[in-house]
């Protein structure tokens, strides 16, 4: 993924041991009016994408697409991904009453820049989660119908994945994500984010050259 000729690093994960280190859950904090509007719109859209992707998995009508992004179609894996996406959809629909806090500032983390430009990060204590954003997040397009392009709603979905327990080796970018082995995608938030976005828009699936067309 690229932005102003730098690779975008959409999320860094930190683990917390106590809930007391987190802000109050499910509110937007440290945002000016414009930032709050963009962040809330992105989270809402992320939830809608997650809900429709989960529903498609449950209906068994995205088998080829699931195979492309998660390298398997076994029932345990499809059920796991659907459950995570349903939790994200539920969280996004309860802004102000869920389990996550959304900050429009980087807070205590130094945002990386250079060959990778960090757009946000998430932390969790096993129950509640906190997501914070770097300045580069607000320079992303709010929405892009190109499956391979990182936008604000996809970055937010990536972060929400971490607050729902998608933890593990991180691989960023569309091409890198498609090249993962069969053991990694279920632990890689980028896979969930790209799968959900590509479920919603017409695109050419690069690995199988199978044309998929959906509408969100």
Task: Give the annotated binding-site residues for Zn(2+).
Answer: 158, 162
φ, ψ of residue 92 to 5 degrees: the values are: -65, -25
159 is known as an active-site residue: yes
Residue 102: closest CA among 31, 182, 47: 31
SS3 call for 199: helix
State how beta strands 129-133 and 120-124 pair.
Answer: antiparallel
Q: Are 177 and 191 in contact (CB under 8 A)?
A: yes
Q: How far apart are CA 125 and CA 21, in angstroms?
A: 9
State how far the alpha carbon of 4 is from the alpha carbons of 102, 116, 130, in Å.
25, 11, 27
Q: Are 43 and 118 in contact (CB under 8 A)?
A: no
Q: How far apart are CA 87 and CA 11, in angstroms?
A: 19
Angle at alpha carbon of residue 164, lines to 100 and 25, rounded to 5°: 10
Q: Which residues are annotated as a binding site?
A: 158, 162
Q: How far apart are CA 80 and CA 66, in angstroms?
A: 12
Residue in 159, 170, 190, 210 annotated catalytic: 159
Q: How far apart are CA 187 and CA 56, in angstroms?
A: 20
Point out the residues that are catalytic: 159
């Amino acid at each position: 993924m690229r932005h102003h000729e730098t690779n975008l690093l959409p999320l860094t994960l930190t683990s917390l041991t106590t809930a007391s280190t987190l802000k109050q859950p499910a509110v937007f904090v440290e945002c000016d009016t414009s930032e709050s509007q963009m962040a809330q719109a992105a989270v809402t859209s992320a939830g809608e994408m997650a809900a429709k992707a989960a529903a498609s998995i449950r209906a068994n009508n995205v088998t080829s697409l699931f195979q492309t992004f998660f390298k398997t179609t076994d029932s345990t894996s499809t059920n796991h991904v659907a459950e995570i996406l349903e939790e994200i959809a539920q969280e996004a629909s309860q802004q102000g009453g869920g389990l996550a806090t959304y900050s429009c500032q980087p807070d205590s983390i130094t945002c990386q820049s250079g060959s990778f430009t960090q757009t946000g990060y998430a932390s969790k204590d096993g129950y509640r989660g906190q997501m914070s954003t770097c300045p580069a997040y607000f320079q992303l397009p709010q929405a892009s119908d190109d499956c391979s392009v990182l936008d604000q709603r996809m970055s937010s979905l990536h972060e929400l994945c971490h607050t729902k327990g998608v933890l593990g080796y991180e691989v960023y970018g569309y091409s890198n994500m498609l090249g993962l082995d069969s053991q990694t995608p279920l632990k890689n938030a980028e896979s969930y984010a790209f799968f959900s976005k590509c479920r919603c828009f017409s695109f050419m699936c690069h690995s199988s050259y199978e044309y998929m067309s959906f509408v969100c």
